[in-house]
């Protein structure tokens, strides 16, 4: 019978296998990926021994309960390994339910001709079983909605979709670091908690201890009410009495020990008075200043603090010393929106390049996107094929297109002219097309999916719709900014060349609101041209922020 309890700590390590498939570096089992993801599908390993561990995706008894077929997945790849277990090795009823955890030793064998598997494992021994209750296990074999899975955070990574997303995100994160390190960039860690409002939009999550302190104080005051004015007056009277005693002893020329003892009593009375007075001022609620504003001097950082919306301000100081840097980490936006383009939490890549111009910025962005697309094709094809089958039929074709096709580059003015011509020829857009607008998603997708049918970089935007710190072009109407647009998405990357001319940015500063002055002071550094590539990363809405 199978051991359904937790095995001794050394049980899995004690058993040794001869002629076995190479194991994982830090485990006594063989990752399923190293078996079925081989070019031959694992058939070349027939006859070899292997120990595998994982979770049952599907299981069924066969031949009048003489044995069971188990489809096991360990998360190392999208595919499952079929394991055949005879009834003599364990209680099949415990093995077949979806979600069961198993560890088995066995021999890899070629399956009968005509089956979809290239290799299967015939179990010799069941080392461990982590049973589940089929009536309570919440993930059935049927396809589940992503919204449903949000209620099962601890189990959703066992689904094909979430595990594929995890592997794809891992691949893209690794590819990001690989690309920038290969190109000579340094990875800079910027703060997640900051006192700077980088974009001045007022859409930040605040970090504070004032609320918890207010709740703690309110509870304490209920249990131990603050001193009344009478209590304070009584404490003051005690101080006066002790002071009079000291004065009398000094006037009577008492001994030093006597005077010293009286002074000690006076000090204790004053300390007690200070505590009583301080406690009498305690009031429930958030601490306020005399003008009624919140007193952030009582907060943890003694000032307002927020979750960062961007590491841009900090990384800009590094680029002026290290030349090519990037930051890659979580950022947060408190926008009251539940669309796929407005997320509460997401990861963002923000490279900065010194001694560079807008064309260098565009070259970096294009190379980066192509590198990531090719990386997915080379390293995550199985997961991308799953995504193509279940969610987006054309995703692999688009990856190939982006990875192999030079990006089209058009100025903003040229892009608007193309859109205006489309309108004249009968194309209807929900958003009006005219020079000076911020291009909407429908405009961006028309350029990439209809007009050019490939990625497009739009550059030189009107200065009125871009940040004041972007370099003013010679036409005095546009700035050196660019957006990378891709099919099915629209804008993927935004970047710009920074204004390095002190007199120019100073003249532009007179035309912007005074509220931006803290931002300006971080940028009024007469340094070389600096381009920035900013990528909105693959994102997942925080589960804690579920609507409703």
**Does residue 40 contact residue 32 with C-beta atoms inside 8 Å?**
no
The span from the CA of 328 to the CA of 346, in Å, is 10
Cα 37 from chain centroid (whole Å): 29
The span from the CA of 240 to the CA of 243, in Å, is 5
**How confident is residue 284, by pLDDT bands cut at 50, 70 and 90?**
confident
Q: Name which of 235, 236, 227 is nearest 283 in CA terms.
A: 227
Q: In sequence order, what are the residues at sequence separation of 6 or more whose Cβ sits closer than 8 angstroms to the Cβ of residue 531?
A: 352, 353, 356, 357, 358, 360, 361, 364, 495, 496, 497, 498
pLDDT at 520 over 60: no
What's the pLDDT tens digit per position in 178-187? 999 999 999 9
Listed in order, the ranges of the chain carrying CATH 2.40.50.140 are 9-137
Q: What pLDDT does 524 receive? A: 40
**Does residue 212 contact residue 401 with C-beta atoms inside 8 Å?**
no
**Does residue 480 contact residue 460 with C-beta atoms inside 8 Å?**
yes
Secondary structure in 3-state letters for 398-461: HHHHHHHCCCEEEEHHHHHHHHHHHHHCCCCCCCCCCCCCCCCHHHHHHHHHHHCCCCEEEEEE
Distances in Å between the Cα of 209 and the Cα atoms of 14, 204, 217, 289, 402 are 51, 16, 12, 17, 47
What's the pLDDT tens digit per position in 349-371? 999 999 999 999 999 999 999 99
Residue 457 CA neighbour count, 13 Å, CB half: 27
Q: What pLDDT does 200 receive? A: 63
Written as six digits, the tokens of 363 are 């070259």
Ranking 42-56, 138-152, 503-517 by mean pLDDT, the lowest is: 503-517
Q: What pLDDT does 239 receive? A: 93
* Top-tier CATH class for 9-137: mainly beta
Averaged over 320-335, what is the pLDDT? 92
Q: In sequence order, what are the residues at sequence separation of 6 or more whose Cβ sits closer than 8 angstroms to the Cβ of residue 347?
A: 173, 328, 329, 330, 331, 537, 538, 539
Q: What pLDDT does 201 receive? A: 56
> φ, ψ for residue 321 (rounded to 5)?
-130, -30
* Mean pLDDT, all residues of the chain: 87
Cα 149 from chain centroid (whole Å): 19
Q: What pLDDT does 198 receive? A: 74
Q: What pLDDT does 22 receive? A: 84
Q: What pLDDT does 144 receive? A: 86
For residues 507, 482, 349, 469, the Cα torsion angle rounded to the nearest 10 degrees is: 0
pLDDT at 519 over 70: no
Q: Name which of 18, 52, 56, 47 is nearest 34 in CA terms.
A: 52
The span from the CA of 545 to the CA of 524, in Å, is 38
The span from the CA of 130 to the CA of 182, in Å, is 44
Averaged over 89-97, what is the pLDDT? 95
DSSP-based three-state secondary structure for 495: strand
Q: Name which of 382, 333, 352, 8 is nearest 164 in CA terms.
A: 382
pLDDT at 379 over 80: yes
The span from the CA of 78 to the CA of 384, in Å, is 10
What's the pLDDT tens digit per position in 385-422? 999 999 999 999 999 999 999 999 999 999 999 999 99
The span from the CA of 32 to the CA of 57, in Å, is 13
pLDDT at 41 over 50: yes
**Does residue 121 contact residue 134 with C-beta atoms inside 8 Å?**
no
CATH architecture for segment(s) 182-204+305-540: 2-Layer Sandwich (3.30)
**Does residue 105 contact residue 15 with C-beta atoms inside 8 Å?**
yes
Secondary structure in 3-state letters for 84-106: EEEHHHCCHHHHCCCCCEEEEEE
Q: Is 380 exposed, middle or buried (0-12, 13-18, 19+ CB in 10 A)?
A: buried
Q: Which residues of 195-314 form beta strands (DSSP E)?
A: 206-207, 305-307
Buried b (16+ CB within 10 A) or exposed e, 294-326: eebebbeeeeebbbbbbbbbbbbebbeeebbbb
The span from the CA of 157 to the CA of 175, in Å, is 22
Q: Is 193 exposed, middle or buried (0-12, 13-18, 19+ CB in 10 A)?
A: exposed
Element (H, E) at 11: helix 11-14
Q: In sequence order, what are the residues at sequence separation of 6 or more whose Cβ sits closer than 8 angstroms to the Cβ of residue 76?
A: 31, 32, 33, 34
Written as six digits, the tokens of 316 are 């800009």
pLDDT at 287 over 90: no
Listed in order, the ranges of the chain carrying CATH 3.30.930.10 are 182-204+305-540
Q: Which residue has the higher pLDDT, 236 or 13?
A: 236
Sort strands 186-187 and 324-332 into parallel, antiparallel or unpaired.
Answer: parallel
Averaged over 151-168, what is the pLDDT? 94
Cα 103 from chain centroid (whole Å): 33
Q: What pLDDT does 433 receive? A: 95
Residue 163 CA neighbour count, 13 Å, CB half: 17
Residues 461-468: contacts with CB under 8 Å, at least 24 apart:
461/412, 462/412, 462/435, 462/436, 464/436, 465/436, 465/437, 465/438, 466/496, 467/496, 468/505, 468/508, 468/509, 468/511, 468/512, 468/516, 468/520
**How confident is residue 221, by pLDDT bands cut at 50, 70 and 90?**
confident
The span from the CA of 135 to the CA of 333, in Å, is 40
């Amino acid at each position: 019978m199978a051991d359904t309890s937790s095995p001794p700590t050394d049980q899995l390590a004690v058993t040794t296998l001869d002629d076995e498939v190479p194991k994982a570096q830090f485990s006594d089992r063989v990752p399923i990926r190293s078996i079925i993801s081989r070019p031959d599908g694992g058939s070349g390993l027939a006859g070899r021994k292997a120990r595998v561990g994982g979770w049952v995706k599907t299981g069924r008894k066969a031949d009048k309960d003489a044995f069971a077929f188990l489809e096991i997945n360990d998360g190392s790849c999208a595919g499952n390994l079929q394991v055949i277990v005879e009834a003599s090795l364990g209680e099949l009823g415990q093995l077949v339910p979806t979600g069961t955890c198993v560890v088995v030793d066995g021999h890899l064998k070629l399956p009968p001709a005509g089956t979809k598997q290239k290799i299967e494992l015939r179990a010799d021994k069941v080392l461990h079983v982590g049973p589940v209750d089929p009536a309570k296990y919440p993930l059935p074999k049927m396809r589940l909605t992503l919204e449903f899975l949000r209620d099962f955070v601890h189990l959703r990574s066992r689904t094909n979709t979430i595990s594929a997303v995890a592997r794809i995100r891992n691949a893209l994160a690794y590819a990001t670091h690989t690309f920038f390190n290969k190109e000579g960039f340094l990875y800079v860690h910027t703060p997640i908690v900051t006192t700077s409002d980088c974009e001045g939009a007022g859409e930040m999550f605040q970090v504070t201890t004032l609320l918890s302190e207010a709740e703690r104080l309110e509870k304490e005051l209920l249990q131990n009410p603050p001193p009344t004015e009478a209590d304070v007056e009584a404490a003051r009277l005690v101080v006066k009495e002790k002071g009079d005693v000291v004065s009398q002893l000094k006037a009577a020329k008492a001994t030093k020990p006597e005077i010293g003892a009286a002074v000690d009593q006076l000090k204790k009375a004053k300390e007690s008075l200070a505590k009583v007075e301080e406690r009498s001022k305690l009031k429930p609620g958030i601490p306020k200043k005399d003008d009624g504003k919140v007193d952030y001097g009582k907060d943890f950082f003694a000032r307002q603090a927020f979750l960062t919306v961007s590491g841009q301000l900090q990384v800009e100081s590094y680029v002026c010393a290290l030349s090519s840097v990037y930051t890659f980490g979580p950022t947060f936006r408190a926008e009251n929106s539940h669309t796929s383009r407005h997320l509460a939490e997401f990861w963002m890549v923000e490279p900065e390049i010194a001694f560079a111009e807008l064309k260098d910025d565009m070259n970096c962005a294009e190379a980066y996107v192509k590198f990531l697309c090719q990386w997915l094709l080379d390293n995550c094809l199985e997961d991308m094929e799953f995504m193509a089958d279940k969610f987006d039929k054309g995703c692999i074709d688009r990856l190939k297109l982006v990875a192999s096709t030079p990006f089209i580059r058009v100025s903003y003015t040229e892009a608007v002219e193309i859109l205006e011509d489309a309108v004249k020829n009968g194309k209807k857009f929900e958003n009006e097309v005219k020079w000076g607008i911020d291009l909407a998603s429908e405009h961006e997708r028309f350029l990439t999916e209809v007009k050019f049918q490939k990625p497009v970089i739009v550059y030189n935007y009107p200065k009125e719709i871009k940040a004041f710190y972007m370099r003013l072009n010679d036409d005095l109407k546009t700035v050196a900014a660019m957006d990378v647009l891709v099919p099915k998405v629209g804008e993927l990357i935004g970047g710009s060349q920074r204004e390095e001319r002190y007199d120019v940015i100073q003249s532009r500063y007179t035309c912007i609101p005074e509220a931006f002055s803290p931002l300006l002071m971080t940028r009024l550094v007469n340094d070389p041209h600096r381009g920035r590539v900013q990528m909105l990363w693959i994102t997942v809405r925080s589960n804690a922020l579920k609507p409703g």
